[in-house]
Structure formats: structure tokens, C-alpha cells
Structure 1
Amino acid sequence: MLLPMIERFLRQHDMRPTRFGRDCARDPRLVFDLRQGREPGARLTRRVEHFMNTYRRSHGQ
């Protein structure tokens, strides 16, 4: 369920997948790997959700 949330976030904020991965997890391939079937662990999931929530708050959405 994490990937659909990320895809929606990318569209809403017009953000490139590489930038998202780099800013969120220091991994520019993160989104591409998730699209290819990578299964995120609980720690990465929490990190991604925290990044998206913080980004939304700081950008007024």
C-alpha cells in the first residue's frame, strides 16, 4: 500500500521519483525499486510516511 501513496504524493507535488527517494531515504532508486516489487520494511515505511507528512505540513497541504 506504500507505493500507491507515494505515486499520489508525487503527482500532487509534481516531484520526480529520484528527488523523492533522495530526500526521503537517501536512495534515488527507491521509487523505481518499489515499482519493480521491492518490499519495504516497517522502518522504511515509517520513514517515508514521516517524510510525506512533514513535507505536506511545511508546504501548506
Structure 2
Amino acid sequence: MLLPTIERFLRDFNIAPTRFGRDCARDPRLVFDLRLGREPGDRVRRRIEHFMNTYRRSIGQ
């Protein structure tokens, strides 16, 4: 259930989907492709999860 987690993250931190994709995976279309059914590989999934965890820690949440 990666996409719902990403969607919640985008809402909670008011981040644009393109910014999120660019910052975490160097792919500005990442979120849009996930919304269309793209399944990320393990490496991309780990990068996304690492980015969200690091971002949360950096702002103290």
C-alpha cells in the first residue's frame, strides 16, 4: 500500500507530486505513474520510504 502512504505524505506536508518524485527518486512523473498503476521495484520503493522517513525526522514529526 505504497500509494496511499505517499498521498497522505503529500497532503500532510503540502508537497507537490512532481517535487516529491524529483526529490526522492529523480522522477517527476513518479506519483502520476503510480496513480496509473505503475508498481515500483524494490530499489525505488526503498528510496521512497527512506525519503519519507528522513523528511519526517528532519522536521521533527
User: How many residue pairs end up in the alignment?
Assistant: 61
4+ aligned runs moved over 6 Å, structure 1 = none
1:60 is paired with a residue whose SS is coil
Q: Return the letter of the residue paired with 2:2.
A: L
Give a deviation string over 1:9-34, Cα, whole Å, max 9, x none.
00000000000000000000000000
Give a deviation string over 1:37-61, Cα, whole Å, max 9, x none.
0011111111100000000000111
Report sequence identity in percent. Answer: 80
| Superposition TM-score, scaled by structure 1 size | 0.97
Q: Which structure 1 segments of 5+ residues have no match?
A: none
Structure 1: how far apart are the matches of 2:37 and 2:19?
20
Q: Return the letter of the residue paired with 2:12.
A: Q
Structure 1: how far apart are the matches of 2:14 and 2:29?
17
Structure 2: how far apart are the matches of 1:12 and 1:18?
16
Q: Which structure 2 segments of 5+ residues have no match?
A: none
Q: What does residue 16 of structure 2 align with?
A: 16
